[in-house]
Structure 1
């Protein structure tokens, strides 16, 4: 009798356990899919699982990842920033063009101020004037690209003496065997993670993105918080421009075209909700790495470049689906 009761108890206890496993798999579906991709790519390519290949992927995603860190903060605050691609073009062209004219350090300083000024414009329009962030940043995407063409006169720019300048440090050098772009990307990720999780400012960003009304009644000045998120986003674009400009030692006028979509894909894959109030910088790093390793694996397997876009689309749809499913508590809905 006692044995039967014990068996029933074990069965009853096992049901919640299985549900917990199911919910855990649902919440971590993208991570599980990533592991499956890694295993499959490792089976089809001997080079995929090597340290050299992994370090190459980290270096390649550093530009997208660095920008994605700032965009994550914007999205957690309840807004979007689609202007980062054109902003990257502008910043890269400016810092490279000014390099030979006034030197690397002054060029970096002026580019930083100009890039932050663009972020301030976005912040004022969205934060203080309360305009729709999608419309504002989409319009800024075109405006900044036009500004880039006006500044450069439609000409590509290059650094003349590429071997003699220390500017190459940001994109080409290594520290302790790890590429400097990787250090910049991961270093900023750690800083922003601490800011979001350990400071009052981070709590205000989550509050503003999660519930604007409650944040207002709590005394949080929403306009200032939103403004600051766009300034942070523009700062990460500046850092990415340093990496890109010093790696290539030149720049095309449209070098940042399409980056906004890849950045947003990495943010979404990291689980940051487009509705605001939810997200993590560390998970954004994982999301960016998922994109990087998937694209790298496809190239090593001999697939054409356009295959990356198709697979990226599938992964993004899967990520959004799992994000919505985690909020409503089930994978499918039966209501119309």
Structure 2
């Protein structure tokens, strides 16, 4: 039999294989294998539940409010995601953000808005880079480093401001809280920025060599090192880049509340970690992404908003969020064990 006689059969076999790959079962398996599948289903379920149990949850104004309430933690969580992907953690992210707002607010009092923004950016980048330097150069545990930095930066913000807040008068500094579209629902510049930043980081993680290195370091730093990846350089770049998102979160916070308060956002670090973990990123590193974090941040705010509308005490809301985090970490650990088998 000639080679030509085999071609029709080969083409038929290839077609059958392609059809098998596109079966509903295969599509569902591919979907549920994604880290963000669980969070997305959870978000849909919570949304349906609150829409059925409350009368105003799906109101366009309330939906807009949900996104407006999420932008600060959601942007802060972008930097946290990058760090957790390399098996690190940053307990100082909220303190860095608050310090940047205080620096911006104090300098803006003199009317030098450009200098205020520039110094806020420098402070956020410098503090984040210091975290990365301590972790990589001194080989200290990220938890201990960032816990110490959290305490020091939080105290430093109060010392710098003499524990007083600074009102923000500049339209430029509050622009991210201004509406881009007002009807039928309000869409602010800050909401658009959050979505754009999420898209950019997602592209960088999935479509660039740097993103490949980030996941490689998170999966196995020793194997990454043997493959020629400069592990410390990647980790330092991640911590430093996170500072940029802390700055944007600081700017967004001034748009949400036009006052630079050194006592604000005391639980922002925990909220950002919660968003990342609920969003499907592994605390062990190497698995997850910012799209899941986007959904995770929404879950945190949707849960709080829905429980508030249902008349549930805020303390019970904190309990519900804590239980959700524990379940997410337990699921992550279970998946990690299965992956190692």
Normalising by structure 1, report the TM-score. Answer: 0.87
Matched with 1:334 is none
Q: After alignment, is 172-181 or 39-48 more displaced?
A: 172-181
Aligned partner of 2:119 among 110, 115, 119:
110
* C-alpha distance in 2 between matches for 1:51 and 1:195: 32
- The residue aligned with 1:213 is 222
Structure 1 residue 43, shift from structure 2 partner: 1.0
2:65 aligns to what?
Answer: 56
Q: Is the 8 A contact 2:43 2:295 kept in 1?
A: no
Write out per-residue CA displacement over residues 194-236 of structure 1, whole angstroms, 9 at most, x where no aligned residue.
0000000001111111111111111111111111111111111
Provide the C-alpha distance between the structure 2 equivalents of 1:63 and 1:264, rounded to a whole number of angstroms: 13
Counterparts of 1:126-165 in structure 2, within 5 Å, are 126-159=135-168, 162=169, 165=171
In structure 2, how many angstroms separate the alpha carbons of the residues matched to 1:29 and 1:195?
Answer: 23
1:237 matches 2:246:
yes
Quote the residue 1:170 is aligned against. 176
How far the C-alpha of 1:312 sits from its partner, in A, is 0.3
Instruction: Tell whether the 8 Å contact from 2:39 to 2:295 is kept in structure 1 after alignment.
Output: no
The SS at the match of 1:167 is coil
| Aligned residue number for residue 97 of structure 1 | 106
Distance 1:175 1:225 in 2: 39
Superposition deviation, residue 102 in structure 1: 4.2
Structure 1 pair 219/329, CA: closer, same or farther in 2 (3 Å)? closer
CA distance in 2 between partners of 1:286 and 1:53 (Å)? 17
Matched, 1:305 2:311: no
Superposed, which structure 2 residues align to 1:1-336 within 5 Å?
24=32, 28-159=37-168, 162=169, 165-175=171-181, 177-329=186-338
Q: Secondary structure at the match of 1:74?
A: helix
**Aligned residue for 2:19?**
none
Q: Kindly indicate whether the alpha-carbon contact (under 8 Å) linking 1:189 and 1:285 is maintained by their aligned counterparts in 2.
A: yes
Task: Work out the CA distance in 1 between the residues paired with 2:253 and 2:164.
Answer: 18
**1: distance between equivalents of 2:219 and 2:313?**
41
| CA offsets 1:49-92 (integer angstroms, 9 cap, x no match) | 12221111111000000010111001101211110111121111
User: Which runs of 5 or more structure 1 residues have no equivalent in the other structure?
Assistant: 1-16, 331-336
What is the distance in 2 between the residues matched to 1:246 and 1:268? Answer: 27
Structure 1 residues 245, 24: CA separation in 2 closer, same or farther (over 3 Å shift)? Answer: closer
Distance between the aligned counterparts of 1:259 and 1:138, measured in 2?
Answer: 14
Following the alignment from structure 2 to structure 1, what is the Cα–Cα distance between the partners of residues 74 and 96?
15
1:95 and 1:245 in contact (8 A); partners too:
no
* Aligned-partner Cα distance in 2 for 1:311–1:34: 14
TM-score (norm 2): 0.85
CA-based RMSD of the aligned residues comes to 2.3
Within 2, Cα distance between the matches of 1:303 and 1:213? Answer: 48
**In structure 1, the residue corresponding to 2:69 is in which secondary structure?**
helix
Contact 1:26 1:322 in 2 (8 A): no
Classify the secondary structure of the residue corresponding to 1:174: strand
